[in-house]
Each structure stands twice: as structure tokens, then as C-alpha cells.
Chains A and B, each alone.
Chain A
Amino acid sequence: MMSKSIIKLIDEALIPAIALIVAKMVGLFLSAQLLHLSFTVKNASLLLVLPKVQFLNIQDYILAENYSNLAMFATAAVGTIFVLVRAHFFHQSHIHPNLQARLASLNLESLIASSYHLYHQALIWITFLWLTSGFLAISTIVLHITYPIISVLAFIITANFSWIFAMDIEKEVELSKTN
């Protein structure tokens, strides 16, 4: 018998993982297209299915890499915002009665989520956000590819989102104590 939590985490990790890969690809191709950067594509070169891109010079590579990393982080941040907003306003345990009534009247009750669903989803998105921030930090400090401003911004955003998530957990713990 497999742990339900692990299955739930796998289930929740699928969409963010695909979203980050797509964001990286779209960010890179879009920046190369808009900035007229020369590159070649090698099909099925990564993990047997994913393509690989080769730039002709280091300046083009750094430019495209920065924009694509930014797109990847933005995707992780948007995903996390979505989950945090849901956890803050549409959390089954502490949703405002007026809002719940309004959602019911608009037939949007599916927006209300349980703690079990929200916390698994939030854990995955926050993990991806921290991993992306860590990747950006390594890319800045060790590889000298990503601009420092992007890494610093990513760290500030990630730390703040984690703090907001922690506040929601605190609220949940207090509610469970009073009940």
C-alpha cells in the first residue's frame, strides 16, 4: 500500500514540472526570436525526448539564458501565488461565510479547497520556487551567467511567499486548537 501523501505529491508535481519546462523553452525561444539571436536546435538530446539548443556565441547564450530563467521563475512564482491566494481566501477551514455564499451563488464552489489538497499543492510549488531560486543563485555565483539582480529578486520573492505560506499554516494550527 503506497502512502496517500506521496501519491498526492506526485499528482501535484506533474503540472508544475511540465509548466517550468515549457516556460524555460518558451522563454528561450521567444527571447532568441525577439532579440534575433542565432541558435541551432538538436532534437531529442535531453532525457531522450527533450530538445537542446546551441548558441553560436557566449553573449547570445547569456542573454537568452537570463530571459528564459526569468520566465521559469515567473511561472513558479505565478503558480505559488495562485495556491497562496487559494489558501488565504478560499481555504475550506477559514473561508469567510459571505464569500462562500457568493461563490455558491456563482456556482464557483470548486474554488474552495481543503487543507489536504492545498498544503500538498503549496508544498510542491514552494519546493519548485526554492529550487528555481537555488538554481538562479548557483548560476549567478558559480557560473556567472544569470544577472545578480534576478537572483536577488527571486530570493526576496521566494522568502516572502514562504512566509505567507507559514502564516497560513499558523492560522490553521490555531483554528485546530480552538475547535
Chain B
Amino acid sequence: MKNHFLTISSNFIAVFLLISLIATPIYFAHNFAKVAGVKSESRYLVISQIDKFPNLTLSQNANKYTITFTKFAKSQAFLEVLIVNNPTSQTQTYQLESNGPNKPFFGQDINDQKTQINVPAQASVPISFISPKESSQESQFLEFNIQ
């Protein structure tokens, strides 16, 4: 019984060794040479357009974005305040999550306020937001994150 176990385990190790020996040159050939460069692990890049809006300020804390602004009308929309770019080589799905009455959305169509969007590789999509009339204070803020 002990002898059988020894035979099975030694043969198993031998086969494993043989497969490793055969696979090593191919693994080496695949990984030996690379191109230098920083690998981007970010799913998206955010480009600010805030400077085009005189009453808006943007702050960021990790994945949380805060926009403070002054309201001039009861209901007001701010279009293309940020641009989200997909730097990866695959299509990515982004989702906007926010609290409060002011709502961000993808695109610039106030009649189609998408909070989730599929962005193809290397493509960009604008982020706009709307401040509804229910939110009546002059000084406002919008807090959201991108998933």
C-alpha cells in the first residue's frame, strides 16, 4: 500500500516536472521582453471643464466629487462640467451615484438624464447636472461619485 502511494506520487511529480520543463521556454519567451511604461489601472479619467463656469468650484476626495455653485434661476442646468474618458482597451460601464436634490447625469440632454452609460475604449462622455426648482437656496452643492 505504501509502495503504491509512493509510485503514484513520484510519477505525479515526474509528470509535473516534465510539463514544467516543457512550459518554461514558452513562458520565458512570452515574458522576457516588455515595453517600459506605467500601466494604468484606472477605469476612467476625469477632465474638468469647471473653469468655463465662473460660479462653480470642484473638489475631489478619493472617488467623491463635490461641485459647489451659485444658483441664478429656480431650475438650472449645467452642461458638460466634466468629461469622463475611458483610457482602457475595453468598453466600460460607468454609473453616477449622488445624494441630495441636485442630480448629475451623463451626456447633455436634460430630457434623457442617464446615470449609467457604456463608454467604448478610448472614448469620452460629458457629465452635466441639473439643479431643480425644489432646491431653492442660492448657494448649492452637488456630491457624487463615479462607479
* Smallest Cβ-Cβ distance to A7: which chain B residue: B14
Tell whether, in the assembled complex, residue A10 and residue B21 are in contact, meaning their CB atoms are under 8 Å apart.
Answer: yes
Tell whether, in the assembled complex, residue B32 and residue A20 are in contact, meaning their CB atoms are under 8 Å apart.
Answer: no
B62 contacts across to A, CB distance below 8 A = none
The residue that A47 contacts in the complex, of B14, B21, B22, B24, with Cβ under 8 A, is B24
Known interface pairs A1-B7, A6-B15, A57-B35. Does A13 touch B22 (Cβ–Cβ under 8 Å)? yes
Interface residues on B, range: 20 to 34
Interface of B is mostly: helix
A169 at interface, CB cutoff 8 A: no
Identify which of residues 1-43 in chain B touch chain A, using a CB-to-CB cut-off of 8 Å.
7, 10-11, 14-15, 17-18, 21-22, 24-36
A105 at interface, CB cutoff 8 A: no
Tell whether, in the assembled complex, residue B32 and residue A53 are in contact, meaning their CB atoms are under 8 Å apart.
Answer: yes
State the interface size on chain A (CB cutoff 8 A): 41
Known interface pairs A1-B7, A6-B15, A61-B35. Does A72 touch B29 (Cβ–Cβ under 8 Å)? yes
A117-134 vs B, CB cutoff 8 Å, 1 = contact: the mask equals 000000010011001100
A131 contacts across to B, CB distance below 8 A = 22, 25-26
Q: How far is the CA of A25 from the CA of B25 in the complex (A)?
A: 11
B77-107 vs A, CB cutoff 8 Å, 1 = contact: the mask equals 0000000000000000000000000000000
* Smallest Cβ-Cβ distance to A131: which chain B residue: B26
B26 contacts across to A, CB distance below 8 A = 131-132, 135
* Smallest Cβ-Cβ distance to A138: which chain B residue: B30
Tell whether, in the assembled complex, residue B34 and residue A61 are in contact, meaning their CB atoms are under 8 Å apart.
Answer: yes
Tell whether, in the assembled complex, residue B34 and residue A55 are in contact, meaning their CB atoms are under 8 Å apart.
Answer: yes
A46 contacts across to B, CB distance below 8 A = 28, 31-32
Tell whether, in the assembled complex, residue B35 and residue A54 are in contact, meaning their CB atoms are under 8 Å apart.
Answer: yes
A64 contacts across to B, CB distance below 8 A = 33
A77 at interface, CB cutoff 8 A: no
CB distance from A46 to the nearest CB of B (A): 6
A28 at interface, CB cutoff 8 A: yes
CB distance from A21 to the nearest CB of B (A): 5
Tell whether, in the assembled complex, residue A21 and residue B28 are in contact, meaning their CB atoms are under 8 Å apart.
Answer: yes
A101 at interface, CB cutoff 8 A: no
A58 at interface, CB cutoff 8 A: yes
Known interface pairs A2-B11, A3-B14, A6-B11. Does A52 touch B24 (Cβ–Cβ under 8 Å)? no
A1-44 vs B, CB cutoff 8 Å, 1 = contact: the mask equals 11100110110011011001100110010000000000110000
Tell whether, in the assembled complex, residue B18 and residue A9 are in contact, meaning their CB atoms are under 8 Å apart.
Answer: yes
The residue that A10 contacts in the complex, of B17, B24, B34, B36, with Cβ under 8 A, is B17
Q: Can you give 11 A-B contacts (C-beta < 8 A)?
A: A7-B14, A20-B28, A21-B28, A50-B28, A51-B32, A52-B32, A54-B34, A72-B25, A124-B22, A131-B22, A132-B29
**What 8 new A-B contacts, CB under 8 Å, besides A21-B24, A128-B22, A128-B25?**
A3-B14, A6-B18, A7-B14, A13-B18, A46-B31, A55-B33, A55-B35, A61-B33
